[in-house]
Structure 1
């Protein structure tokens, strides 16, 4: 019998859309990039990648004149190539960080939302020692400091675990409905959360990368920037990322189907 209930057809159409409406997590691995800054090329670096359990940069011999060595990890779908994320991709990225070692000049490490023009360096949710500052800045990320004396006045002490989380909600990425981000810190048993902060970026001539959000072709991950201590051959820094979690909740594109195509499935 070819006659079919339009109620059933409508339900089938909804199922077809629902089955493709939301993306599964878009990462199953990370790729490491070392010595992005390489002011101490003679240091001994031991990288570890057992994602999602642990990503670590253990670096010894930071006895050089200069600024720092910078390394990073980036979410990937194949374990070889960094994955690019779009302006409309909603996500949560979280990891537990421990900074350790005896480098007098300290280190900076944290999560990263690298914009298309500086995917390996900028867009940081940053933890810094020895002063303990915790702040988000750079790239297109809205600035927020957890160390502001007028706010949480929170400071990190080397050797302690600190959980960092970035939640990105693109909304419609338009004026009045800008993308927004929220930062969260869990430290010494306490949770600290920023307000939702909106993106204000929309550069003339670069609109095709996307406005009011992370912009297309962003990279997500973490970084470790180990500063140098000239004259101290024992200078040693370790940045360890545990329990890395990523969830992409952005809707996927739905293939257009005509009503006739849907009906034909049931003939």
Structure 2
């Protein structure tokens, strides 16, 4: 089963970070966030990726083209122009890098991957958020639903601490970043049947989250897998700092794989 990763957006809220690299290449603990997402899927045996590139796609391409050499021990003989690889620490990945246009919307990018997916179910998610979602349970939920698309529903934490303030002005309870208002939101990590491509119109301005998902919901073809565990997008510099602190402290909930 192929895994499609949306990696073409601008990520303007990360400021200088995304002026030099696409958002999925912003690092957590020295590794691009897209690497962390791929490691999660790899943990569950999914290793065939199609990365839907756009803005600064050359940065993503250079990273993966050079990944094998950069993660192996090598001897370079300059006289013979020969390179010997002594130890390969690379991943068991097959990676297709698909340029889908600089300004294309999410649905339009997904549509272009149809020729690489064929007539098989596929996974799909955003290249800018990490989670400890159980992919096996997600797949099982999708199969049992009989729907064309399953999305992972999450309850994000609030952006600010919550206070209970008594009439006297005394704070009786403080909770740092509680779960929001209880609403479930789209957390990505989709499972899709190939017929889902038919719900995406032609054109560069089609958002997957609008017409395609709306129509699937109207036809009762959109299923939800409720994930109660960790999920966190990297939307802002604050998110980047928080995720890096978790990784540095050895408390990254999304790291379900072994080193």
Same fold (TM over 0.5): no
TM-score by length of 1: 0.25
Q: Rg: which structure is higher?
A: 1
**Higher RCO, 1 vs 2 (CA within 8 Å, ≥6 residues apart):** 1
Between Structure 1 and Structure 2, which shows a larger proportion of helix residues? 2
